Chain A
Amino acid sequence: MNPKRTNNIATGVIYGLVGIVVLILLFLIGYILFNGVPHISWQLLSSPAQAFSAGGGIRDQLFNSLYLLVLTLIISFPIALGSGIYLAEYAADNWFTHLIRTTIEVLSSLPSVVVGLFGYLFLVIQLNLSFSILSGAIALTFFNLPLLTRSIEESLNSVSDLQKQAGMSLGLSDWRTITRIILPVALPGILTGVILSAGRVFGEAAALIYTAGQSAPSVDYGNWNIFDPASFLNPMRPAETLAVHIWKVNTESVTPDAHLISSASSAVLIIVILVFNLGARFIGNWLYKKMTATR
């Protein structure tokens, strides 16, 4: 075969492969939205789930997902920020830094089910936190830390070294230079990373099945006392999330309208994650423009 012909065939094949992938994505998104969106109603979003009869909603699961997300970010962001600052600004090129990087890589490559099982073993059983939002949030923190740390490190590294030198040359401490000069410049990137990680956390289920649990007891949304077991804010109650709910109704439940519930829940899940993704891009760009803008 002559080279020119091979070239054309190869190019054609590549276009074909790309086309198929794009079609797969369109099918996935289309399937979820077409099957799910028509079933999304206020009724669905505002009523509790039903185990044995049709017509159940996803109110509690949706709230649990959001609450768990907020708790996870509250726990994981400071730790990731500290670690990210260490790696970007303090870490020297030595065995200790090497060890840290290896550790973070190992953590990020652990299957989420292993992280979940560890959470079960350590949090639920050893520390006696039982199946609870708190257990779930800590397990998700384990799962979220490596990626968040890395994205914060990258954002900090993308800030010009000249800024750090400027701070140093004024006799400012490294810490002050980092937190007051470098961090604000890196903020758009960090925020984008946080929102993207929020999307991942929101859709995660494997790490939660044995930590946050698979049941959503009914709670009182008017009870603001977080120590009251009936309060919606109590972090010690078990909490099935939306993602876990989808898994559960598809594998173990006898709910007659399982397909409808999972279609609608999947659509809600996908829409929230899409909003996160778009929001990350938008907020990042907006903040960046605002900060470098010439007023």
Chain B
Amino acid sequence: MKEIQNKLLQKSKATREDHFGKAICYLCIGFIIALVACILYFITSRGIATFTKDHVNLWGFLTGVNWNPGALDANGNPEVGALPMIVTSFSVTILAAIVATPFALGMAIFMSEIAGKKGTKFLQPVIELLVGIPSVVYGFIGLSVIVPLIRKTFGGTGFGILAGTIVLFVMILPTITSLSVDSLKAVPISYRQASLALGANRWQTIYKVILRTAAPGILTAIIFGMARAFGEALAVQMVIGNALLMPKGLVSPASTLTSKLTTDVGNTVMGTLPNNALWSLALILLFMSLFFNLIVRFIGKKGSIKK
């Protein structure tokens, strides 16, 4: 009995194993948390230097239309107006989402309501392939097919918001589709049966019951798509034209936040105003990414209360 008692009260190999395992896991998790904290800190501290160190007016930065950080404007302030890039980024994002949503919803409804298992089996690889194509390949096809096509149709260079929209629409299509499918599939089967039992036909059931129940989920899907479009860099950079001008139309060359960053970070010197101003653009990207995240959370909470 004494021996068993001792065994019960002593630490064993299993206790040590568990301490070891837990320590490893905490280390890994700690790494990820530290990493995200680092990213937020570094980008933020660089990004606000434009305003704290170089004393650029925040409002002027967000609303100015001229970007020429090397020069001073009439009032002796550096010319760092990010508005053209902000406008272009939002334009391509919103337009791409508007174009992609009907296609994504059509795909999602087809997969979850119309075609059954077979259709899903056929379309799932389609979505996976669209996700799998790297963004530089999208950019390359945009550059060699879409841009010349626009040039032929509308004249001009062919570069611009329209080309960016077309490329981004295909890129965010799989994101919106697969998340929409998830939210449509989450609608309980009893809703469908109830609606059909009341004499509603398939489309009435889809439109009046299923889409409405799944609306928060679909909205989340669209926002995830927009987040992807807003942050996409290379594919857009290859077709947008990279002109630092306020976009005059859909087919005039423009510049997004991401395209400006990819082309210029390597050409400026660390710590100078032109460089700091670029980090401020990166900070806007970071903010928007967090903002999209926040909206998704907000919708998630609201959507779940309703149920």
Give the B-binding residues of A (Cβ under 8 A).
3-4, 6-7, 10-11, 13-18, 20-22, 24-25, 28-29, 31-32, 78-83, 85-86, 90, 99-100, 103-107, 109-115, 117-118, 120-122, 125, 142, 145-146, 149, 171-176, 178-179, 199-200, 202-206, 209-210, 214, 243-244, 246-247, 250-251, 259, 262-263, 266, 269-270, 273-274, 277
Contacts and interface: CB of A to CB of B under 8 A. Distances in A.
20 contacts: A3-B201, A7-B201, A25-B126, A25-B129, A83-B29, A86-B26, A110-B286, A111-B232, A112-B231, A113-B258, A121-B43, A142-B35, A174-B18, A175-B17, A175-B20, A209-B266, A210-B266, A246-B140, A247-B139, A247-B234
Contact of A210 (B132, B133, B265, B292): B265
Contacts of A210: 265-266
Contacts of B293: 105-106, 109
B21 A175 contact: yes
Interface string B6-47: 000000011101101110111111011101101100110010
B165 interface: no
B25 A86 contact: yes
A242 B46 CA distance: 31
A85 B24 CA distance: 10
Contacts of B279: 117
B241 to A, nearest CB: 11
Most buried by A among B18, B202, B224, B292: B18
A114 B238 CA distance: 18
A31 B141 contact: yes
Given A10-B207, A82-B29, A114-B43, A28 B133 contact: yes
Contact of A22 (B13, B109, B126, B262): B126
A86 B139 CA distance: 38
Contacts of B106: 13-14, 16-18, 21
A31 B26 CA distance: 47
B181 interface: no
A192 B173 CA distance: 23
B16 to A, nearest CB: 8
A15 B203 CA distance: 13
By secondary structure, the A interface counts as: helix
B128 to A, nearest CB: 6
A270 B109 contact: no
A277 B286 contact: no
A104 B114 CA distance: 35
B149 interface: no
Contacts of B27: 82
Interface of B: 13-15, 17-18, 20-22, 24-29, 31-33, 35-36, 38-39, 42-43, 46, 102-103, 105-107, 109-110, 114, 123, 126, 128-130, 132-137, 139-141, 143-145, 170, 173, 201-204, 206-207, 224, 227, 230-234, 237-238, 258, 261-262, 265-266, 270, 279, 282, 285-286, 289-290, 292-293
Given A114-B286, A277-B132, 9 more contacts: A3-B204, A10-B207, A29-B129, A100-B32, A109-B224, A117-B265, A118-B42, A146-B32, A247-B139
Contact of A117 (B25, B43, B230): B43
B262 A209 contact: yes
B137 A266 contact: yes
A283 B18 CA distance: 32
Contacts of B145: 31
Given A15-B110, A104-B32, A173-B21, A206 B201 contact: no
A103 B231 contact: no
A106 B136 contact: no
